[in-house]
Amino acid sequence: MKSVFKSGNYIEAQIVLGMLQSYDLAAGFLGNFLVGGVGELPAADLYTLQVPETDFDKANEVITAYQNGEFELAE
């Protein structure tokens, strides 16, 4: 498994996880049990998404599109 996305925001990590899974990518979530430590732990990059090496390139495409705002809803 390779790390493909890191975030300090639990909700954002869950949204990106759902996006990856909607593209049939086998994404895994690390750090999801750390949400109880918020306030005690540093908030930077607590949550990490991982994918198998075979899905890494496709996952990077999806995440790059997300970061470039390509999934924003039009008004």
Q: Is residue 73 part of a domain?
A: no
pLDDT single digits (tens) 13-61: 999 999 999 999 999 888 665 555 555 655 566 789 999 999 999 999 9
Question: What is the model's pLDDT at position 75?
Answer: 72
Q: Do 5 and 63 touch, CB atoms closer than 8 A?
A: yes
Domain span at 63: 2-35+43-67
Q: Is residue 10 part of a domain?
A: yes
Q: Is residue 75 part of a domain?
A: no
- C-alpha angle 54/46/62, rounded to 5°? 35
Question: What is the model's pLDDT at position 45?
Answer: 65
Q: CA-to-CA distance for 34 and 3, rounded, in angstroms?
A: 17
pTM: 0.77
- Does position 6 have pLDDT exceeding 60, yes or no? yes
Q: What's the domain count of the chain?
A: 1
The CATH code of the domain that includes 15 is 3.30.70.1530
- For 59, the token pair is 């996952």
Find the distance separating the first CA and the last CA of the chain, reported in whole Å.
38
